[in-house]
Structures are given as C-alpha cells and as structure tokens.
Chains A and B, each alone.
Chain A
C-alpha cells in the first residue's frame, strides 16, 4: 500500500536489513509453498506497491495469517504483519471483498443475528449440511472450529439481570468485552467481573462496538473505521478521566492499542488517549500484583502431589502487546498449579484465517506444533489461552476443553466453576 504519511506502518520497511530471520520463523511459510514469507511480502513487496497501479502487484500476501511471529523476531523493528495487513486491505479495495470475508469480518453482526434465536442459529450454522453448503458457497472450511452462540443470553443480558449485585466503589475500571464475550462466551465476562470486583473495583461496561479487528484483517478498512470511531466516542471520555480500560480479548485490546491507529493511520488525540488507557486484563492484574494490590486469597486448584496440570498457550497478539506473558505471571501466584508453557509459534487459526477453505489445512499444519505440545503433556483436563479463536482452534486440534486464564483465576478465588463455566 501507498505510504500515506511518515507514520504509516509501510515506512518501517526502511528498517529492514534483509537478514531473513523473519522468514525462517514464519510458521505459515514453513508449511506452505503458497506463501514466500514475511520478508518477501512485507518490506520487500512493499517497495513495489503504490496506489492506483494498473493491477495489484501481489496476491500471495493474503496467505499471511497475521500471527506476528515475524514482528517479534525481527531485529530491526519492521512492522511486517501490519504492512501485510495494509496490503491485504489495498487488495480488497482493488478486487472487492468476497462475501465470506465480509461475513467473517462482521463478528458483531453475526453475533447479534444469532443471538435472537441462538439454538436455531447454532443448528443452522453447525449442522453438517449447512457446513458443506458454507464451504461450497462461501469457502468457509467445513471442519473449521466455528463458535456457538450463547444459549443463556448475551453478556449484556447477564449484566442487566445482575445489575443489583454489582459492586460500587471509588476504584473504577472500564471493561471492554468484545464480540466473542458478548455473544458466544458471556461467562468469560462474568469471570472477569468477578475477579475485578473481588479486588475491589467497580466495573463499568459502556456500550461498545466490535473493535474492528476482523474487518481490518479481512481488508475492510472503511467499515473498520466506523467501528473504531464508535468506540472512540464511547471510551475516550473514560480514558481522559484516567480510568483504565481492560479487556479479556487480547485481540480487541490490541486493536484499541495499536492495530486501529496503525493500520488506519490514525494518530488523533482521542485515538491516542484510548490507546494509552487500554490494557490486557492480565497485563493490568500483573501490575496490581507487582504493587501488592492483587488479592492472593487463593484456594489451591491442586495439591503438591497432584498439581493442577495446565498447558498454556500465549496467543499471537501478546507479541504485539509487547508485555511478555502476563497471564503466566499471574497464574504462577496460584498454589497447586503446574502451568506448562507452550513455545509453539501459533495455533494456526490466527483470527479468521483458519476458517477459510484454502487456509484450513495450513492452519492445522501450523497448529500441529501446539497440538503436539499438548499431547506431550500427558492426560490433561483442559488447556488455557487468552484468545477466543485460539481456544476454539486448540479444542478443535486437541479435543480437550480450553479455558481463558481469567476463568482459572476466578476459579482460584472460588468465584467460578471451571467445569460448568459459570460464576458461583
């Protein structure tokens, strides 16, 4: 894509020293010939891109999953994954966006639609016949791990139901739940609220939009911009007032912090205020722990003889947060736990990547590293990962349930049932 300003991520191509370290780490380039790797698609191809060319010069960049392994290993600070995302957006603008990608990009719309009649929606979406149809008509892989709508109402429904039970406090925190918590996994939000309130914080949940990430990764920048502006309007005031904005979805928080500003090339005051106020929930909890403000009245989840064995995979987005692995740091405070850290580069799903027919197998091949790691840990009851789509992929690849670390933490506080996934 065209360099539109000196702030554009495309400009970071100038940092590249061609070392090829990114290429040797990229999990996608390793498993498919269709993708030549981050250096090729990122800083190199970028030199051949411009607005208004007679054709989009390259298409293989569409095979970049956006996992950001490349960004993490690049010694020069090239924003490779973002360059690739912008190139996809340019391609989308040039070629039009397939219905499939439009649909996958509209997490919020899908979520809302399904929530009117979740059981029916689940049936419509998940019965084998419609999956075959979805594959044939739209290119959504029949095997891919699509989520199920919550049949007990949305997160907001729960909030409304339990309005009177909410903690009032001078210490306040804003919670950004994201689409997945709202429509598919409201119990994640319940766990988060339980943990935050247990630590003495009043939880503010302002009305909010989808963060826009699925749109961004499917190249629909204009639509993403609308969502982004919507969120700014509702969140910037809290940010300016000094409230932290925490989220349980590593991708949503990343979008507010970085993806939206960078990909949309937005550097206005409201964007920067929200960017500065946004935290991944564990990043924020770790900060509390470091100042001894985090409650540690844990109930052991296992014993010294028989610790609670939990394979944990840090999602790709943590790389871009550049915060280390905060959930790992916080979970380590819980007695009786044996958290095994996966060093796999990516689960393979990378947002909506692994849903697409032509990429499903690539996603599974990329994820093999992680699935093998889990299998190597012996029999386990569950795995953990902070990102929803990664959890779904993990479950799909290992046939073992997967939980958000916030559920584990809430369970350790005795506030949550890890099996049934609901607040106690």
Chain B
C-alpha cells in the first residue's frame, strides 16, 4: 500500500517531511533470531528466545495482537472442550492453563467453567466426557443443577447435568503486550507496523537458506533489511504467505470464527455445552461483556472477513440454548478471527482439523535452512508452542539452552488475577471519576496518555487494545473525540521546541504491565522497578508513538478520528438493530450532524490501517457523507 499524505489543512503546522525522520533509521539490522508475527505465538517465541540469550527481533505488520490473537474468544482453556475429540490438545491445555495462571496472572480472570447438558445434548457424551477428563487429567467435578443455577441464575433451567472445570477468561491484548515487554526487558526488539514483504535467501536449488527479511515500515513507508541466523514464521493464518516467500508450500486451513458480544455480562462463569465441540456452544465472560461463539468456516483470505446476518442469527439462537433470552439482550458488537490450523495432508473441514500445535522445520521438510514455521495451537498453548520452537532453534543454532518461560513471570503479575470490578474499584479508591475519557469502560485520561506515551501507537484502535478505549456500549461515541483531543494535545507539547516531555524516558521504555490499571496509571507507575538489570532496551529504531509525534503524518487528528469511527462501525454493522441501533443513531448525530465528521479536512489522508477499516469497496462507510 502506498500511503498518500495529503495534508491540505492550512491550520496545521507544517509537517516535517518524512526524509528527516528516516535518516535516523538504520537501513539494515542483524540479529540471531527474527520472529515474524506479533500475535500470542510470535511474541511468546520472542520472549523465550530473548530469555535464552538470543539476539532477537520481532516484526509485526500492524499492532501487536491485530491478528487472530486480538479477535479470539477470550477463553483460557481447561482442556475440557477437547478431552473427547482431541485428547492430546486437552493435555496441552491443562498443563498450560496451570502455568499461565502463574506467569500471566493479571491477564487472567479466574472465572471457572461449566459444561452443561442441555435438553438437546442427550446421548452418552456426558459420561464419555467425564471419563475422558479423568484420562487426560483435566480436573472435573459434577455439581448439582441447583447449585449451578444459584451461581448463574440466567442459565437454562432445563439443563440436566453440570460439570465444573478450571476454565478461565484471558485478556490476550494485555497478555501479549506484557509478554512483549518481558521480551524487551530480556533484550528483544519489538517492531510493530513493520511488514515482511520478502525473505532474503541464499544458496541455490537444494541448498537454500533463509538469511533474513525485507521489512517495510508501514508508517514511514521505508524499507529495511533484517539479517538473521534463523527466521521464525509465526504469522498465524498468514503463515502460508510468508512460507511462499521462501518458495515453501504450507497449506494453512484458515477457519473463520464469528463471535458476538452482549452489552453486559450475562454469566460470570464460562459456560460450555457438554457435547462434541461445535458452533455457538461457548459463552465466555470477558471483562464487562459475555461473548457467544463461535463458528468454523474455511475461508480463502484471512484479511477481509465478512460476517453474515445468518451467522449472527445462528450464534444468538445457539446462545439461547445456554441462556434463554440471550438473543433479546443488547448486542454491542460482532467480529471474526481466523484459526491458523494446519494438518499435514489434511483436506477436510476446518472444524475437524487438529487444534494441536504444528512446528514445521523447513530444513527437514523442504530442504530450506534457517527457517521454521510455528502454527496451529491455541492462545492457551502459546507458551508451549514458543518453547518447542526455540528448542528446535537451539538445535539449528548449535547451542543447548534451557527454556525458562514456565517459571518466569511477565511484569505486572503482583496485581493478581483481574476481576470484573477491578477498574471501578480503583477509580473509586483513587477518586478518578472526574478524569474518565471512555466512561463505559472506565478509561482515565492518564491511562490513555500513558498508553500512548509508553508503547508504540499509530491509531486509536491501538489504544483500544491497550486500555479498552471505546469497547463499551457506545462503541466510541463519546470517547473518540476526547481521545483524539488528548493525543493532539500531547502532540503539541512535543512540537514546542522548548518543551521537555515529562516521562519521555518512560515513553522510550515501553511500559505496558499496568495499562489496565487506572490506579497505577494515575500514580505514573514506571518500568524502572521491573527492568532486568543489564538488559538493553536502547533501540536504533524509534518505538515512540507516531500518533503523538507531530512529525508523523498519522498524528493528524482528523485521520485518527475517522479511522477509529470507521473501525468501530465495522463491528457494529452486523448487529445493527434494537438498542444498539438507537445508540448508533446518537453516535451518528454526534459525529455526522454535530461535528461534520464526514467533511473534515484532510479527507485523503490515510494511515496504514485506513484501507483495512474500510474493508471492501462495497462496504458502507460511516464517513461517506450520506
């Protein structure tokens, strides 16, 4: 994508031309391990590699978790779902479930989980389930229906049996960011908005070797070469595309899954149907919402995922079987993610493909050295996937170094498991009610500011993943313009040549462990206390946030505003009825009628994400003037 910067607005101070910024960037870097993909898997791989002392660079074409990791269901699997169908996965899940509760404590809510037998789930599955749990070591206890209904009053009263398992809910945004911070503290370099456009190759037919990657900085549009002893392809559903760049065929089975979120939590426990895994059979409480999901449909393109009305209807109808009335609850959003499933020689339905991880050693498999692909698996097993990958990397690089991730907590775990009320509790304790930017999700001004200053930010959507900005009922209706104003103000501070940004050091430090904590943000919690001694976080490449850097064209407030409105609109469109429709009408009045958002200056300005938010050309746009 060629980025056209057309800043026509004369009110803006002149934008310093790109060239000046780029001279600060070295055009080529070298490292031992280059990781492609900033989802859970890639970030975990970078963390493990850095902990084992490898010089490591991770490149992600967008924001961390922009791929499947940021679009998943939010379930920390106990393994219960797989005990019958995919026992190997179940064993992996329960092992990792136990580990992640220690290493990523604050990213997890200890919700517990029920497997419920609804009137439609007859047959011998429940008994097989119970036996398989015992075999795979997934702790499972049958509890009375009455007890389950006491804990979850909205649950279908016609269920006949209930089994409790140690499911949890997990915030993959926070977990991945915290893992990335841990990786940085161990010396890794994390480059977001850096897209691999080609692989550097050596050697001829039969003796090929991947020696690095050609990477484009999608914000500055500059290209750099990163040389590496080993390139690890952790690009999820895109893994086939990356492998293709090395001339290697990897056939990913991209299984699209649709999820729908209710306006508030209907349950506080993960509710699974006790039957063979299928569609729309899990309801997960994640932060302030409940998410019903999901589907599994083979798609061609992991990028432009279409959600059909039929899929949403189906999801709601299935939801009614778990919580009767769910379909009439207010629905705030729908979205889809793609499973990066892989099974050698498999050609069936994506639903039936294994959920186990797959590590492809292209030296053994394809005769291409210096190149590994890690795919499949689940969020829950990302750490294990990383461990297996770096074990193999050690073999390739001829060293023997033990994995320590299972016993190394990421920064921030002393906050304990998160719980539904934690934000409200902190806002109350610190009396931060006056400083709320996103009122629905209780995001304070300090949270927005420190997220923008302390980790790379290109769009407001990046801040959404950091602090949950705009994820509430109004879907950005009130916080979008506030956040834009705040970023604009920070940008102005930086533009003043005499201004010394308070906390500039922090901005360079990349601090995310307390992103979700209003109290810590208000206290200006700093990274210094957690930094690993001797670790270098100094970087030749800027990690500061283009969104607040006045020299960067993406810091254009009109662009930030339009992008985020368009992004939020995308997820509301499939559920536009009833109460959410009423909400969108108010949002429309605010942005289109009051602020004239579709006639703001700089109409042609684009960020690296603008095209993605707008989707296909046929899609209706919130800022199209009608």
Name A residues whose Cβ lies closer than 8 Å to a Cβ of B. Answer: 2-6, 13-20, 33, 36, 39-40, 43-60, 76
Contact = CB atoms under 8 A, between A and B. Distances in A.
B478 interface: yes
> Chain B, interface size: which category?
35 or more
A5 B154 contact: yes
A3 B424 contact: no
A50 B287 CA distance: 12
Nearest to B421: A57
7 contacts: A16-B473, A17-B582, A33-B431, A47-B264, A47-B265, A54-B419, A76-B582
Contact of B428 (A4, A47, A50, A57): A57
A interface, over-half SS: loop
B425 A57 contact: yes
A58 B154 contact: no
B433 A53 contact: no
B325 interface: yes
Contacts of A13: 263-264
B264 A59 contact: no
Contact of A3 (B153, B440, B586): B153
A48 B474 contact: no
Contact of A48 (B442, B579, B583): B442
Given A3-B266, A47-B288, A47-B440, A14 B579 contact: yes
Contacts of B268: 50-52
A36 B442 CA distance: 12
A418 B424 CA distance: 51
B491 interface: no
The 9 closest A-B pairs by CB, nearest first: A57-B421, A36-B433, A14-B330, A57-B424, A48-B424, A18-B474, A47-B288, A57-B425, A47-B264
B224 interface: no
B147 to A, nearest CB: 13
Nearest to A16: B473
Given A13-B264, A58-B424, A44 B329 contact: no
B439 A18 contact: yes
A14 B433 contact: no
B423 interface: yes
Given A3-B264, A47-B288, A58 B478 contact: no
Contacts of B39: none
A48 to B, nearest CB: 4
A59 B583 CA distance: 28
Contact of B329 (A14, A19, A33): A14
B574 interface: no
Interface centre among B263, B433, B436, B478 (most CB of A within 10 A): B433
A342 B433 CA distance: 32
A36 B425 CA distance: 14
B439 A39 contact: yes
A76 B583 CA distance: 10
B264 A17 contact: no
B403 to A, nearest CB: 33
B398 interface: no
Contact of B433 (A4, A54, A60): A60
A55 B440 contact: no
A15 B579 CA distance: 6
Contacts of A16: 473
B477 interface: yes
Contacts of A5: 153-154
B420 interface: yes
A43 B23 CA distance: 51
A76 B423 CA distance: 26
B428 A60 contact: yes
Interface string B264-295: 11101000000000000000000010000000
Contacts of B325: 6
A127 B582 CA distance: 56
Contacts of A46: 264
Interface string B470-482: 0011100110000
A74 to B, nearest CB: 13
Given A14-B330, A49-B421, A19 B586 contact: yes
Contact of A55 (B425, B439, B477, B478): B425
B434 interface: yes
A14 B580 CA distance: 9
A14 B424 contact: no
B419 A40 contact: no
B266 to A, nearest CB: 7
A18 B586 contact: yes
Given A17-B473, A17-B579, A48-B421, 8 more contacts: A3-B266, A4-B153, A14-B330, A17-B582, A47-B265, A49-B421, A55-B421, A58-B421
A36 B436 CA distance: 11
A45 B425 CA distance: 10
B433 to A, nearest CB: 4
A91 to B, nearest CB: 11
B434 A36 contact: yes
A58 B428 contact: yes
Nearest to A19: B586
A40 B428 CA distance: 11
B419 A53 contact: yes
B424 A18 contact: no
Interface centre among A36, A43, A46, A52 (most CB of B within 10 A): A36
Contacts of A48: 288, 420-421, 423-424, 442
Nearest to A41: B433
Contacts of A49: 420-421, 424
A53 B420 CA distance: 8
B266 A59 contact: no
Contacts of B154: 3, 5-6
Nearest to A15: B579
B319 to A, nearest CB: 14
A48 B325 CA distance: 21
Given A17-B582, A18-B478, A46-B264, A40 B420 contact: no
Interface in B211-268: 263-266, 268
Given A48-B423, A48-B424, A58-B425, A2 B433 contact: no
Contacts of A45: 424
A5 B327 CA distance: 15
Interface string B412-453: 000000011111110110010110100110100000000000
A51 B285 CA distance: 14
Contacts of B478: 18, 20
A4 B266 CA distance: 9
A87 to B, nearest CB: 11
Contacts of B436: 40
A40 B264 CA distance: 15
Nearest to B427: A58
A335 B265 CA distance: 57
A33 B431 CA distance: 9
Given A48-B288, A49-B421, A60-B428, A14 B263 contact: yes
Given A18-B440, A58-B425, A50 B586 contact: no
Contacts of B586: 17-19
A255 B614 CA distance: 52
Contacts of B264: 3, 13-14, 46-47
B332 to A, nearest CB: 9
Nearest to B433: A36
Contacts of B477: 18
A161 B473 CA distance: 60
Nearest to A53: B421
Contacts of B288: 47-48
Interface string B573-594: 0000001001100100000000
A18 B433 contact: no
Contacts of B420: 48-50, 53, 57
B101 to A, nearest CB: 16
A44 to B, nearest CB: 6
Contacts of B442: 44, 48
Contacts of B330: 14-15
B592 to A, nearest CB: 16
Contacts of B431: 33
